Structure 1
Amino acid sequence: MLSIQVKTFDELNIHELYNILQLRSEVFVVEQNCVYQDVDGKDPRAIHILGFKNNKIVAYARAFKPGDYFEFSSIGRVVVDLNERDFKYGYDIMKASIKAIKTHFNETTIRLSAQVYLKNFYNNLGFVEVGETYLEDDIPHIAMVKE
């Protein structure tokens, strides 16, 4: 069972921040073989959605209010530990992120930049494609919006 916590950047302790950055690096840099600047200066403006299992962060996302990343509220850096993906924690962390945007920002319209291979995953959560695919860090992406 995944235990979800939502925190501002200032509420994260140093161990949580380290574990978040480690998980993001493991998946987005190493597993996906993509060299890019993960620490992008935007984390201090985000709310952070942490999924804990046995006191370890195994799922994570960050969310922004309108204007802090896109015109609308947004969710990004959605990640689940490779060894925990069979448990569908991606859905848990996304549902918690959608709820956090409603709770913290009183917003329901959400935009994200999805890796194309995850399009159906986001469709199942109510997101629809907007526009054409594009390359982001040499990985095909598509903009998606949930009203």
Structure 2
Amino acid sequence: MDQSHADVRTQRFLELDPMVAYRLWALRSEVFVIEQEALYLDLDGRDTEPGTWHVWCADGDGVPVATLRVLDDGGVRRVGRVATDEGHRGRGLAAAMMREVLSRWGSEPMVLDAQVRLADWYGRFGFVVSGDEFEDEDGMPHLPMRREGASG
């Protein structure tokens, strides 16, 4: 599956099939908690907020293999929880999801906290560093980034 054929889906929490929701959060736990050894509570209550959107890619069987979420932070969209299954990396799935985000919300300002090693990648989508490097609760270096809306 290359990026031109990515099956990108965008849904609110109540639109998610329960098995899909389970697999999205299992994928995030696998990437962040197990692989990156970041011990934190992924289920922070924001996934179910009315303004939250879940963007995800499915494999040929409809199983989620990449995900991100878009939060409504009151006048700005916050992109986060970007994760791709290890066996599906390098296929442009994260880029396809980011293009979907920009197609839906690109006219609005957006922010994200990028792992330092990914700042240039997010820069490809118009995000610029907007503050000083910081370490998250698990000591992983991040950079705050911002993208002004197309109209701003």
TM-score (norm 1): 0.90
Residue in 2 aligned with 1:91?
Answer: 95
Residue in 2 aligned with 1:101?
Answer: 105
User: Which consecutive residues of structure 1, in runs of 5 or more, have no partner in the other structure?
Assistant: none
- Following TM superposition, by how much is the alpha carbon of 1:50 offset from its aligned partner in structure 2, in angstroms? 1.3
Residue in 2 aligned with 1:132?
Answer: 132
Residue in 2 aligned with 1:14?
Answer: 18
Q: 1:94 & 1:19 partners in 2: Cα distance?
A: 20
RMSD of aligned residue pairs (Cα, Å): 1.3
User: Which consecutive residues of structure 2, in runs of 5 or more, have no partner in the other structure?
Assistant: none
Q: Report the structure, 1 or 2, having the larger helix content.
A: 1
- Is this contact kept in 2: 1:62–1:97, CA < 8 A? no
Residue in 2 aligned with 1:79?
Answer: 83
Q: 2:102 & 2:71 partners in 1: Cα distance?
A: 11
- Deviations 1:57-98 (Å, cap 9, x if unpaired)? 11111102242xxx5211110111111111121111111122
Runs of 4 or more consecutive aligned structure 1 residues displaced over 3 Å after TM superposition: none
Q: 1:74 & 1:36 partners in 2: Cα distance?
A: 19
Q: 1:34 & 1:65 partners in 2: Cα distance?
A: 24
Q: 2:84 & 2:26 partners in 1: Cα distance?
A: 12
Number of corresponding residues: 140
Q: 2:145 & 2:44 partners in 1: Cα distance?
A: 21
Aligned partner of residue 35 in structure 1, secondary structure? coil
Identity of aligned residues (%): 31
Aligned partner of residue 48 in structure 2, secondary structure? helix
- Is this contact kept in 2: 1:63–1:74, CA < 8 A? yes
Q: 1:144 & 1:82 partners in 2: Cα distance?
A: 25
Aligned partner of residue 133 in structure 2, secondary structure? strand
Residue type at the aligned position of 1:93: M
TM-score (norm 2): 0.87
Residue in 1 aligned with 2:27?
Answer: 23
- Is this contact kept in 1: 2:132–2:143, CA < 8 A? yes
- Is this contact kept in 2: 1:50–1:93, CA < 8 A? yes
